[in-house]
Chain A
Amino acid sequence: MSVLRPLDKQPGLNTATILLVGTEDALLQQLADSMLKEDCASELKVHLARSLPLPSNVNRPRIDLIVFVVNLHSKYSLRNVEESLRHVDTTFFLGKVGFLITGAGREGHCSIHRNTVVRLARTYRSPLLFCDLEVEGFRATVAQRLVRMLQICAGHVPGVSALNLLSLLRSSENPALEDV
């Protein structure tokens, strides 16, 4: 099936798998490394993909969280994410999808407006994180957040589900930005 579904596989024992989708492989690789440096009780797995759909003949674990990475410097990266989103089942968007935006720090290089990605995240009802992945300190911080999110999405944090987390994150948003 070319559409990713959140619950079409059995979970692995104590395993949490994140799928990072983005065109700039070097950035994804660095983020993956930063995430794996975190101390975590769960066994982490990071899958990197340039775009969706994923190759179909591969045996892969259940994906607990998908993070789409967009670089504000590259319209190509945004277009790639927009096309990839079509291959994700709607049930994934109940807290198991996030958007990570990089490149906001260097405004002169941005060819995508901030509002475009804000609207994208709002359309898909998913959390939006900004982080300049090229800066090690910022990358380490966002890696930490992603690991916590991943653990929740994999069900490894008792009492908190992906949907809980999603509503927690949404209620902290400025109410004026909610549904137009």
Chain B
Amino acid sequence: MDETLAEFIKRTILKIPMTEMMTVLKAWDFLSEKQLQTVNFRQRKESLVHDLVLLCEEKCASVHDAALLDIIYTQFHRHQKVWDVFQMSKEPGEDIDLFDMEQFKSSFVKILRRALKNVTVSFRDAEENSVWIRIAWGTQYRKPNQYKPVYVVYYSQTPYVFTSSCQLKSNIPLLGQNFETHNTTVPLQERTLELDIHMDSRIIHENRIEKERVQRVTQETFGDYPQPRLEFAQYKLETKFKSDFNGDILAERKEPLRCLIKFSSPHLLEALKALAPAGIADAPLSPLLTCIPNKGMNYFKIRDK
């Protein structure tokens, strides 16, 4: 096993938190039970990793084994990545093909290899008919860089593909969505109105009815479940300037004003949901903001009618 590979395996294992170490190694299924038993998991992490790497060397781990470990680590830590979603569209007249996973994988590799020889492609099947594809890119003269792979997750029964790095900007970006598998067994969260926490009778809320209306409208708009994680929304305005004042210079302009508004947040949709209850905006919010989950878009162009 060459040095660079050993180093890569070492760094990948080092990333794994100690609490997850056993789970990840078992999922990897490369080192046998017997081998794992020979390792002391209570020692310091550096020494543990050192021992594990030696075992990998004994078993002659390959680049593909290491790549598989990387996929498993990323699957456990998918929330740490920013994902773009692409929606595949069908040409009119195309039939729905029966999907064969193995055929998909082999043609995928073939297509990539045709473009570039130095590429490492690895697959791992996952839940709900999905496949995780890890691609490490090299160049014509350099071996693939294993430290900057791209992940593609394809749910075969859907037209959606998630990618983890967008070096190639495509034409139809959808939501940058953290794909939690929306489990219908998640129980409805208990919604406690903040009013109930402060039961001091010396505090009287004059606008209780309004508060309840705002909560109701917010719930109708956003629902009870956590919002999909979105990090930004962008609005390109090409509209004429509208003003209440007569004789405003800007209002006389014939050309539309061009302006770009970008909202960014660690969790944009939850932030929007919190606006009206926090008293920062009126409820209901502008449909330009609330339509994001329905339309599945977060890039908008707004023009005058």
Q: Do chains A and B interact in one complex?
A: yes
A-side residues, CB < 8 A to B, are: 19, 22-26, 29, 32-33, 36, 43-51, 54-55, 58, 60, 74, 76-77
On chain B, the residues within 8 Å of A22 by CB distance are 279
Report the interface size class on chain B.
Answer: 10 to 19
Q: Is B96 an interface residue (CB 8 A)?
A: no
Task: Decide: A48 near B203, CB < 8 A? Known: A29-B198, A33-B198.
Answer: yes
Tell me which of B76-84, B206-214, B242-250 binds A: B206-214
Q: Which residue of A lies closest to B282 (CB)?
A: A76
Q: Is B200 an interface residue (CB 8 A)?
A: yes
On chain B, the residues within 8 Å of A19 by CB distance are 206
B206 to chain A, nearest CB (A): 4
On chain B, the residues within 8 Å of A55 by CB distance are 206-207, 209
**Contact of A74 with B204 in the complex, beta carbons under 8 Å:** no
A sample of 19 cross-chain residue pairs with beta-carbon separation below 8 angstroms, ordered by A number, consists of A19-B206, A24-B278, A25-B205, A26-B194, A26-B278, A26-B279, A29-B203, A36-B202, A43-B202, A45-B202, A47-B203, A47-B204, A47-B206, A48-B204, A49-B206, A49-B207, A50-B210, A55-B209, A77-B279
Summarize A's interface: helix, strand, loop or mixed: mixed
Q: Is B280 an interface residue (CB 8 A)?
A: yes
State the CA gap A45–B202 with chains docked (Å): 5
Within 8 A of A (CB), among B167-215: 194, 198, 200, 202-207, 209-211
**Contact of A48 with B280 in the complex, beta carbons under 8 Å:** no
A122 to chain B, nearest CB (A): 25
B195 to chain A, nearest CB (A): 9
The contact of B206 among A24, A26, A58, by CB within 8 Å, is A58
On chain A, the residues within 8 Å of B281 by CB distance are 76
**Contact of B198 with A25 in the complex, beta carbons under 8 Å:** no
B77 to chain A, nearest CB (A): 32
B41 to chain A, nearest CB (A): 44
16 additional contacts (CB under 8 A) given A33-B198, A36-B203, A50-B210: A22-B279, A25-B205, A25-B211, A25-B277, A26-B279, A29-B194, A29-B198, A29-B203, A43-B202, A46-B203, A48-B203, A48-B207, A49-B207, A54-B206, A76-B280, A76-B281
B200, B204, B280, B282: residue with the most chain A Cβ atoms closer than 10 Å: B204
